[in-house]
Amino acid sequence: MSVEGIDVSEFSGNIDWEKVKSQGIYFAFARVNYGTYKQDDQFASYWPAIKKASIIRGAYLFFRPSEEVNPQVKMFAQALEIEPGDLPPVVDIEQDYYNFGQNDHWDDLNSTEKLNKITNVLTAVEVATGYKPIIYTGPSFWNDKIKTSLFADYDLWIANFDTDTPTVPGGWELYTFHQYKGDQTGFPGISGNVDRNRFNGALDRLQVLTVPAVSLQEGRIGPKVKKLQQTLIKVAQDSTHPEFDPGAPDGIFGPATKKAVIAYQEANNLTANGIVAPGDKLATA
């Protein structure tokens, strides 16, 4: 069975996800942000709607090498609540298309700088979300501009249009997802453009690729961290333990949040490691 999917952004417009599902679509990726230049206007509506339609969902960051890594990842992670059953996060590494034909920022970097940028963004996404990301790229771009096999241990989402046998670059032995058609119009339920994809395997293998819950710990960023911080603040207000208060709930698990978690753990005779495991009442309150 072919496991069909799509990827969408604000260019896809209004989407009737139930109608999309009825076309045999099993998974969908949605863009969260284009560097720090732009947060996708439709992501906040797409993300819960995909899940409601019982389509397996994933999210991607379009990485801009012209910008610093951490602000891009922060914008990505703060907008994204990955839940069990979702796909791992994706880092889109390709031509900086808003500057296509004018200024290709990848060409502004030497080989070492390119590798460092890619390493740093992949690491930052993993630290922020708790999940090892998938790499999205195209064979020509990767072979011409990146020219390395150092990242072949990451799952690959390859963009190679109008073929059933995509070219696999960069030392990868196989691909996980194949984007085989871009900017399709007239897809039932989608008012704008959509990209078409296939998963390289059966549906049960796709389901295995989805993520479990992970611990909240220093370095994590996102809505779950913000909820944890708000819970700690409430517990501090309702008790005689002001040390439980991590400060302003900014969704970033930094030293102050770790200190507050450790204080809570010590007061409740728990392992005081500053890590909030899945299912812990601090994470689920």
Positions annotated as catalytic residues are 7, 92, 94
As a whole number of angstroms, the distance between CA 127 and CA 125 comes to 6
Helices 255-267 and 223-237, packing angle to 10 deg: 50
Is there a contact between 63 and 35 (Cβ–Cβ < 8 Å)? yes
The single-letter DSSP state of residue 147 is -
For residues 66 and 169, give the distance between their C-alpha atoms in angstroms, rounded to a whole number.
24
Cα 166 to Cα 160, 172, 194: the distances in Å are 6, 12, 19
Residue type, 6: I
84: left (phi over 0), alpha (psi -120 to 50) or beta: beta
60: three-class secondary structure by DSSP: strand
Q: Which letter does DSSP use for residue 36 in this model?
A: T
Distance CA 139, CA 165 (A): 12
Q: Give the H or E element holding residue 199.
A: strand 194-199
Q: Is the Cβ–Cβ distance between 6 and 28 less than 8 Å? A: yes
- Two structure tokens written together for 53: 């339609």
Nearest residue to 90 via CA among 44, 33, 52: 33
